[in-house]
A and B are shown apart, each in its own frame.
Chain A
């Protein structure tokens, strides 16, 4: 219950923070975080709600919107679908009192589990709209995994057109996903008989390619994952996001 070395209760700590002078203008702090393990099953909305409570528990000087129903403003980067993990998520938060980014990160991580941890906190110089690409590591355990299957998969995912239905707000539409794949490497891992995919996929708002679409395509074209679901599985891990020039987004 005691926060900090000063041994203030959280409520006292909140009081102390409130008494600090207000910043001239709210300051945006960027949090890079990891969302893995059981957290992959938590939807975006639930994650948002979770962060609201975590911010309160962490006693951060969060800036709240004024008005009838004050709330913290949280802005998340590229969407991550349920069932995908990530080492590379971003969240922008606004504060209105002085607190170092190291302190913010420390306080937040105390209130989070291993599977949801802040890995960096800093003052951003870029905008989420600059995000153009995301890289993924996909691991597939399927019956009949082999060198040949890996090759067949490579062919499928690099031969245009590869048409898939994409669900958008405006309804369903057919898209060719090959142009949205910048780079793809598929290998067969002999020791555990799995297939590993490293992929760089489009992550712009307009042309976001959900890595699940690769699985959907492979299921259809290579009939993978059609055996016993208790023996077959796949995992998706986002490993980075990049700008249009393929430098890492920060």
Chain B
């Protein structure tokens, strides 16, 4: 490390975020690699280091001998200030080289509120924000991750997007780059065109023109070449058992958000909650076999020395072989003092047996997500959770000596009335009642129920993608109403900031016309907008106003069912027809069976995949 920056590192908080040198980082000989890739996580080191996707893609890229992938995180405010003051560009962790020296820069887009960090990082790197202003000598800027399913608000800043799972796409992009460089025919324009034409799942926004109707809705997307796809189909990894998995992990010295082994058990979710984007875009479900998972868990334990293994997947209790897997793991975890944790448990799967088996289920506080307060509304959103399931689950927990439960809800859901809001308070008090009805409860303690309420945000590729978000006033009114319904001191009530949710809704359904607003936000120093201490609603509104954006057009409008959506250019596997049907069923208060009970024909089976729950697609 450079001695010059030592003064700066000594003056900032948590310098371990920037000093690098971690065990397990990959160092290559610069002179021998043909493509240098900077993998950027647009948030802090502590959050980025914990991301499983980054761990996987870092390994996948570095498996290519002539590619060197390094990590980059967004420096915290104090560090940014020093960097700007002393004209220090943003650098990669491993080599300490500035981003501008790289061939490719990849951003993972995990949440909309990180968009300002993306621009902030490009700016700190000294690179022009707009892709049209970056010339052939500058790095190719790539986006991926869940937000790339509607990349339009940030389309002008990226050269291309990966739609779907990147394990195969990213190496293919590097190979194409190296090949064109070696053959001496690399220009950025040629490269982008060839990538769009030859690599499935690649979306190059600059190769599509968008026109608008007079009412502001989108008229159409027109490809500027005949040989590029009119719809970009997402890529998936078909067989999770043979999919690349990182045997080595870069070990952070400083404490990060998830200091534990993360074992990805399956991708996708069989449930189909109607507000949930992850439940749609990761379809179809593809499982790993318990034997494979057990070997991977052993390998990761040996490589990291972590004392906890977390089974990470969307709804872990839906894994068909959870019991087998836990048994295999428990054969060696206990004696090595490794604990298992199962986040994302559903109430209907929460049993005494499970609790006895899994230490962390025993010790940690309990969290369930009924999402809505009445059965009617739970049916609307297709959250197939019954009140009696919830009460049974909490009783199991109370009997085992627990006294605290955390419940997650969403407010502002389509068709929601004040009765549904009152239902949240009632459900919470039923949980309190259940405590006192449990004979073997811990009599020394009082029960405590925390209800945490977030705001509904209509997301692309969900049955609710056309719905309006409640206005800010409506959300605030509902929050207040709920507060007034909670009189019991044993119930704690917290809610998300409706202001953040509103901006998130604008970005989630945004189109290319948001680019000037994001550009202005970056110019005015916006970053870390998912952090309370940084988010400033009034400044956001001012930025939107000054760039002629009406937030209500994106957030609070009911979108037409026949309207061209900004994300129609992308095929996430699930058909628009299915989403529309699901929307109708929501209004009819009809639930849809989960994928294992019955296939509802969402269309994702056409993607294929091993150990899925889908029927074979007819070709």
Contacts and interface: CB of A to CB of B under 8 A. Distances in A.
Co-complex (A, B): yes
Interface in A6-37: 9-11, 14, 18, 37
B305 A38 contact: no
Interface in B252-278: 253-255, 259
A9 B23 CA distance: 20
Contact of A41 (B19, B259, B335): B19
B23 A113 contact: yes
Given A11-B298, A38-B19, A233-B4, A53 B254 contact: no
Interface in A105-126: 111-113, 115
A18 B336 CA distance: 10
Given A1-B302, A57-B302, A235-B3, A42 B253 contact: yes
Interface string B284-313: 000000000000001101111111000000
B337 interface: yes
A115 B20 CA distance: 11
Interface string B14-51: 01101111110000000000000000000000000000
Contacts of A18: 335
A229 B303 contact: no
Contacts of A43: 16, 254
A230 B5 CA distance: 7
Contacts of B8: 229
Given A14-B336, A38-B1, A50-B253, A1 B303 contact: yes
A233 B19 contact: no
Nearest to B85: A229
Contact of A230 (B4, B10, B259): B4
A42 B45 CA distance: 14
A225 B303 CA distance: 43
B86 interface: yes
A56 B306 CA distance: 8
A141 interface: yes
A82 B15 contact: yes
Contact of A53 (B15, B20, B304): B304
A49 B8 CA distance: 25
Nearest to B15: A41
A47 B7 CA distance: 21
Contacts of A40: 19
Contacts of A225: 7
B9 interface: yes
Contacts of B23: 111-113
A64 B6 contact: no
B7 A232 contact: yes
A57 B261 CA distance: 13
A233 B302 contact: no
Nearest to A13: B302
Between A9, A40, A54, A234, the greatest number of chain B beta carbons within 10 A of the residue's beta carbon is seen for A40
B251 A1 contact: no
A231 interface: yes
A55 interface: yes
A233 B7 contact: yes
Contact of B247 (A1, A70, A234): A1
B336 A41 contact: no
A14 B301 CA distance: 12
A196 interface: no
Contact of A52 (B11, B255, B302, B305): B305
B21 A10 contact: no
B481 interface: no
A46 interface: yes
A46 B3 contact: no
Interface string B474-499: 00000000000000000000000000
A56 B254 contact: no
B212 interface: no
A50 B254 CA distance: 8
A11 B255 contact: no
Contacts of B299: 1
B298 A56 contact: no
Interface string B514-536: 00000000000000000000000
Contact of B21 (A9, A11, A70, A113): A113
A-B residue pairs, 5 tightest by C-beta: A38-B21, A53-B305, A56-B305, A38-B19, A41-B15
8 contacts: A14-B336, A41-B15, A41-B18, A53-B304, A53-B307, A57-B303, A57-B305, A111-B23
Given A46-B253, A233-B3, 15 more contacts: A9-B298, A9-B302, A11-B302, A38-B20, A41-B9, A42-B253, A42-B254, A46-B16, A49-B255, A50-B251, A52-B307, A56-B336, A141-B3, A225-B7, A233-B7
